[in-house]
Amino acid sequence: MKSQVKKLKTDASYKWKYEGNKIQFDFNTENLEDLVQTLWAIDNGKVDYARDLLSATVDKIKHRNKLIKIADTSEGGWDTARQYDANPIASDSEDEAKIIRADNRAVRKKKGKSKQVRGNGSKTKASNVKKDIISSGFVPKAEKSMWTPTKNLTFLGTHIDTDKGIFTIPDNRIDKIMSTISDIDMCLTKSGKVFVRKVASLVGQIISTSPVIGNIVYLMTKHLSIDINSVHSWNSYIHLSVDSIDQINFWRFNLHEANVKPFKTDVSWQTIVYSDASNTGYGGYIVENPYNIAHGTWLESEVSTSSTWKELTAAFAGELQNLPVSLLSKVNLLPELLSESRAASTTKGYYQSFLRWKKWAILNGIENCDILPAKAFHVAIYLASLTQSSNTVSPVVQAFYSLKWIHSLIGSLCSPTDSSLVINVLEGAKRSLATPTNKKEPISAKPTFLRHDKKYRLYSPMALTNAYISVKNNEMSQRKAALQFNVPRQTLRDRITGKISPDCVTTGRAPVFSLEEEARIVEHVKSMASYGYGYTRQEVTDLATDFAHTIKIKPRNEEFTLRWFEGFIKRWPELRVVKPRSLEILRAKCGSVANDKPHLIFNVDEKGITLNHKPPNVVSGIECNTSSVTSGRSSTTTILGCGSASGFAVPPYFVFEGKRMNNELMNGATPGAVGAVSDSGWSNTNIFRQYLTDHFLKYIPGRNNDNVLLLLDGHKSHVAVDIIEWAQEHHIIIHVLPAHTSHILQPLDVGCYGPLQRIYDNECHKTIRQNSSVITKYNICELACKAYQKALSPENLQSAFRKTGIYPLDKTVINKDQLKPLEVFTTNNECKETTDEPNR
C-alpha cells in the first residue's frame, strides 16, 4: 500500500477521473506524513513535538469537515469551498460574510461556464420540498404522498391516466359495487327481500362514480331511490320492484363498459333532437332547423292507449298519411291484434328484452336510426357481449327472438336475425354456454371373481356377503339364501360354520384394476376389434400397462405379463381369442355400404418436414457438376393434416421441437393454423388428443348430430383408450386402416403428401435463392402453409379419396397386383399359425 501511495505521489502526470477523489487523496497524504512524524517522535521520547503534530492534524481534520459542510449546503458546492479556502480574512467574526462572498464568486464562475443539467433534478427538488415541509412542522403521510412524477395517479377515488388521457374508477371500488350487487341477489333469492341499508349503500356507491360515468348514475338509480324512500326506518327490509331489479341488472352488465371518461370529449353533434310525449300530447324539436317542429295532442280515444300502440303508430306514420279516410278507423285494431299475436307473458318478455337492446345501443353510441330496424353487425356484437356476461344461453336466445319479433311487427323485409352472421353467433353462444352432459359409463358385463368352472355357478362377492348376513340375522335359511342370492350352498355353509373366514370372498390375489376400470379396457378392446383393429395378446398387456400409468396405478411388476392376460380373459367371458379374417373378405363386405356422406368422411395423418430440404432438379451442361444451397440442419416439424372426401381441408396443426411454445414459430401461418411443441418434434398421444378435441372438432361442417367417419392408420398414439372413448361420446367412428396399407388405402398418402413435399422443397429453394438466407424454425410455418394449401386443394382431396376407392365406393380401384406383397406375408403367417396353433 505504501509503495502505491508513493508511486501516485511521485507520478505528477497521473490524471484523476473524479476531482473529489483527488482532493481526498491529497488530504490523506498530507496527514499521513504528519502521523509518521508523530510515531517517530513518540519512539524517540519527543513528547512535546508529537503533541504539536497531533494538534495540527486535529485542526486540519476540523477544517476539512467545515469545507465539506460548506460544499454540501451552498449552491456553488466545492467551488464555494475552494473560494472560501483561497481567500482568508483577518477576523473570525466575519466568517459568515466570507462564506457568502465565496459562494457568490463560485456561482458567478459556474454561470459563466456551459450549462449542465442534473440527471436527477426532479428528485432533488422533491427532496428539498419534503425537507421544507418537515421543517415547517408538517408531517406528510407516507402512503398518501408521491414524491416522484408519475403518469398514473389515484386521487379522491378516481384513477387518472395521463398516458391514455382517461379517467376511470379504481378496480377496488368496482369490485365493491359488484360484491354489493351479489349480496343483494343472494338476499332476494333466499327471502325475496333485502335490508334497506344494503340498497342505500349500493345507490351511494353508484352515485359516487358520477365524475367518470356521468349523470346516468342518477337516472339509473331512480327506482332504487324510490324504494328506499318508501320505508320509515333504516332497520327495515324492503321488497324491490321490478324496475329496481332491472336497474341492478343494468349496472351488473354495463358497469365495466361505462367505466371510462376521456379528458377531452367531442361534442360536435351535427343534429340534436328533443322529443317527449305524455298522456295529453307529444312534441319534437330539431336544433339545427327550428322550423322542423312536430307537435299535437292525442285524441280522447288515444290517451288511454299503451305505449306500444303509440310506437307502432309512429313507425307506420308514412303509410297512415296515404291511407284512405275510410280505413283510418280500422288502424286502431292493428296494435291490439299485434300485441296479442303472442301470449301475454311472451310479449312482455320480448318487449323487456328489446328495451334492454335499446339501452345497450344508446349507451354504446349507436344512432337511433340503426336501433329499429337494426343492423346485423350491431346485433352480432350485442349477442357476443351477452354471451360474455351470461351464465346461461337463455338471455342470448331471448334477445335474438325479441329482435325477430319486433322486426316482424314493423313489417321489416330485412331482419338482422335472418343474417347468417347473427345465426352463427347464436349457435356459437349455445355451444359455449351449454351445460355438458356427463354420461355414466355403461358396464355391459360382470366379471367373475371366483372359480367359474362349468359345475359352479357365477356369483359376485357382494351376493355372497349379503347371503351370509341374511343367514346370521336369522332372516332365511342357508338353502333359501343360496337360492335367493345365487351362490353355492357349500361355499355359504363353509363361511357360516367358520371353516373359512367370512371376509374371504375371493380366491387368490385381488385384481390390479377395479371392476369399472377393467370394464373400460374390455369396451375399448371390443370397439377396436369392430373398427378392424384387433389386439393380440401382447398388445392387450401393453395397453393395460399404458392405461395403468395413465390412471396412476402401479402394477405388481413394471409391466403386465401374459399371465395377467390369462386371468383377465377368464374374468371376462365375453372376450375370446379368434383368428382374424383376411383382407380380401373385408374388402368384399365393404361393398354393402349405402348411405354415405362425403363431407363427413375424413382422413387424418402426420407429415414430417425438415429444415434441410431436398433441392429440386436443375438444368446444366453435360460436363458440369452443379450444386444447390440447403439449410444444413435436420430439425423435424410435424404437420397434422386432415381432409374430407368432399374436398374440405382442415387448417394445419404444427408440432415443433422444443419445451415451450413460442408464438413467433407461427409467423406467416394461414388463418386457423395452430401450433404445439414436443421434445422430438413428432406427434404423440397427448398432442393427438389435443388436436382432436380442440382443433378437428370445430371444423366439421354441416354435421347435425350425424356420425363422422375418421380414417386413421394404426399408430399407437391414435388408439389410446381415452381417445376412443371421446370419439364414441362425440359420434365419431374411428376406422383403423390395416397395417402396411397406407400407401394404398390412405387418401392423404396416396394423393396429397407427395405433392406437399415437392411444393415445400420448391418454396424452400425459392426462399434461399431470393433472400440469400437459410430455412429456420421461424419461417418453416409460412413455407409449409403455402404448400399445404396447394397440396390439399379440393381437387387433390377428391382425387385421393377416389383413387383409394373410399369415395365413391369402388372396390375395383385396388387391383390384385397391389396386394401381392400382402399375400406373401399372409401366406407365411398362415403357415406359422398352423404350426403354432396351441400357443395362440
The verdict on 51 and 171 lying in the same domain is no
In this structure, are 212 and 97 located in the same domain? no
What's the N-to-C CA distance of the chain in angstroms?
A: 91
pLDDT for the residue numbered 368: 77
> What count of Cα atoms within 13 Å lies in the side-chain half-sphere of residue 173?
19
Res. 396 pLDDT band, cuts 50 70 90: confident
| 378 HSE (CA, 13 A, CB side) | 21
Per-residue pLDDT tens digits for 415-439: 888 888 888 888 888 888 877 666 5
Q: Which of 388, 418, 433 is the last residue of a domain?
A: 433
- Confirm whether 147 is domain-assigned: no
The mean-pLDDT minimum among 300-309, 397-406, 569-578, 602-611 falls in 300-309
Q: Residue 720: its pLDDT value, please?
A: 85
Mean pLDDT of 516-539: 82
Instruction: Tell which of 417, 433, 449 closes a domain.
Output: 433
Residues 640 and 778 in one domain: yes
- 306 plus 369 within the same structural domain: yes
140 within some domain: no
The model's pLDDT over 441-482, given as tens digits with 9 standing for 90+, comes to: 554 444 443 344 444 445 666 777 888 888 888 888 988 888
The upper half-sphere exposure of residue 597, i.e. CA atoms within 13 Å in the direction of its Cβ, equals 13
Tell whether 258 and 295 lie within a shared domain: no
pLDDT surpasses 50 at 811:
yes
Q: How many domains does the chain have?
A: 4
Percent of the chain with pLDDT over 90: 17
Q: Establish whether the linkage from the previous residue to 808 is cis, with ω within 30° of 0.
A: yes
The pLDDT of residue 830 is 47
Burial of 465 (0-12, 13-18, 19+ CB in 10 A): middle
Q: Which domain holds residue 59?
A: 2-111
> Given this model, what pLDDT does residue 313 score?
63
pLDDT at 799 over 80: yes
The verdict on 347 and 226 lying in the same domain is: no
Same domain, 215 and 287: no
| Residues 210-247 pLDDT 10s | 988 888 899 899 999 999 988 888 888 888 999 999 99
Residue 504 lies in a domain: no
Q: Verify that 648 and 775 share a domain, yes or no.
A: yes
| Per-residue pLDDT at 268 exceeds 60 | no
Higher-confidence position of 217 and 302: 217
Q: For position 373, what pLDDT does the model report? A: 81
413 pLDDT more than 70? no
Task: Give residue-wise pLDDT tens across range 237-252.
Answer: 888 999 999 999 999 9
Q: Is residue 836 very low, low, confident or very high in pLDDT (cuts 50, 70, 90)? A: very low
Q: CA–CA separation, 789 vs 808, rounded Å?
A: 23
**Average confidence (pLDDT) over 372-377:** 84
> Residue 256 corresponds to which cell in the numbers above?
365495466
The pLDDT of residue 1:
44
- CATH code for the domain of 294: 1.10.150.130
pLDDT band at 113 (very low <50, low <70, confident <90, very high): low
Q: Please report whether residue 778 resides in a domain.
A: yes
* pLDDT tens per residue across span 732-751: 998 888 877 888 889 999 99
Residue 319 pLDDT greater than 80, yes or no: no
For position 608, what pLDDT does the model report? 92
344 part of a folded domain = yes
Report d(CA 496, CA 476) in Å as an integer: 13
In a domain, 728, yes or no: yes
- Dihedral (C-alpha) 3, 4, 5, 7: value to the nearest 10 degrees? 80
pLDDT above 60 for 753? yes
Q: Looking at the structure, do residues 65 and 181 belong to the same domain, yes or no?
A: no
pLDDT (0 to 100) of residue 589: 44
Distance CA 608, CA 653 (A): 12
What pLDDT was estimated at residue 696? 92
Residue 297: per-residue pLDDT: 62
Of 433, 465, 481, the last residue of a domain is 433
Higher pLDDT, 103 or 840: 103
pLDDT, one tens digit per residue, over 692-707 is 999 998 888 767 778 8
Cβ partners under 8 Å of residue 661, min gap 6: 675, 676, 677
**The pTM of the whole model exceeds 0.85:** no
Residues 345, 217: one domain? no
For the stretch 320-361, pLDDT in tens is: 666 776 676 676 667 667 777 777 778 888 888 888 888 888
Return the CATH number at 641: 3.30.420.10
Are 298 and 349 in the same domain?
yes
Examine the pLDDT at 832 and tell me if it is beyond 50.
no
Q: Is residue 487 part of a domain?
A: no
Q: What is the pLDDT of residue 97?
A: 61
CA distance 287 to 268: 13
The answer to whether residues 243 and 172 belong to one domain is yes
With bands split at pLDDT 50, 70 and 90, how would you rate the model's confidence at 813? confident
Residue 446 lies in a domain: no
Predicted pLDDT of residue 304: 62
